[in-house]
Amino acid sequence: MEWAGEGIVLSARPHGENAAIVEVLTAGYGRHAGVVRGGTGRRLAPVLQPGSEVQVTWRARLDAHIGHFTVEPLRNRMAALLSDPERLAALSAFCALAIFALPEREPQPRLYAAAQALLDGLAGREIWFGAYLNWERLLLEETGYGLDLESCAVTGATEGLAYVSPRTGRAVTVAGAGEWTSRLLPLPPLLVEPAITGPDLRAQMGAGLRLLGHFLADVLAPALGDRPLPEARARLAARFG
């Protein structure tokens, strides 16, 4: 068995004397693990940092085996993030959630494209908040728990969406919310339009993380066996608390 493609490193943990078990996110093969010989050595350890883009070739005698990766570097973003704790926190949350939520070896072309956009934003100078929220929203959608933010669940209006039902994941306008406002989750515009700008983006990021965190923790996590969300996600949310 063999395949080759580009991937984003999610994790690398020591295995044996100098090897590493590496998990990558790919478009065609989803979240996939393999053993990298020499993965903890001087040459490959810097390549196998979370968020790095690599060219990988996977080989195994049988498809059910963990197999081995050979790895070539394409792009290492870690140097661009080291001086920014918030961007590092976002990278850690992205990697942890991908490992937590995604099934192994299932194609993820949309999530992979969104992940590349997120990592480019984290490594650049632009505001990355919208790209991160968009990735979490797509993660919910691709795992079967997407939000419906197209129109109001009560009135059918497509403008003025202000809240989300914590039970159904559907958007609601102020008029549609009525006396139920206190039971709904505020919907920040940034979650609907990731590219918008403005002076209150940090507050919107916090609101978006709280909204998505509800569905990640109370809907997705129980479906995966009631495991708690990764601590990395909580640490990111705390920075925008």
Domain positions in the chain are 2-76, 79-149+187-238
- Which CATH architecture does the domain made up of 79-149+187-238 adopt? Up-down Bundle (1.20)
At 129-153, the pLDDT tens digits run: 999 999 999 999 999 999 999 999 9
Q: Half-sphere exposure of residue 166, counting CA atoms within 13 Å on the CB side? A: 14
Pairwise CA distance, residues 28 & 112, whole Å: 9
- CA 52 from chain centre, in angstroms, equals 14
- At which residue do the structure tokens 């984003």 appear? 8
CB 169 within 8 A of CB 191: no
Strand partners, 36: 20
The fold adopted by the segment(s) 2-76 is OB fold (Dihydrolipoamide Acetyltransferase, E2P) (2.40.50)
- CA 69 from chain centre, in angstroms, equals 23
What tens-digit pLDDT sequence spans the chain (241 residues)? 899 999 999 999 999 889 999 999 999 999 999 999 999 999 999 999 999 999 999 998 888 889 999 999 999 888 788 889 999 999 999 999 999 999 999 999 999 999 999 999 999 888 999 999 999 999 999 999 999 999 999 999 999 999 999 999 999 999 999 999 999 999 999 999 998 888 899 999 999 999 999 999 999 999 999 789 999 999 999 999 8
Strand partners, 87: none
Pairwise CA distance, residues 32 & 175, whole Å: 46
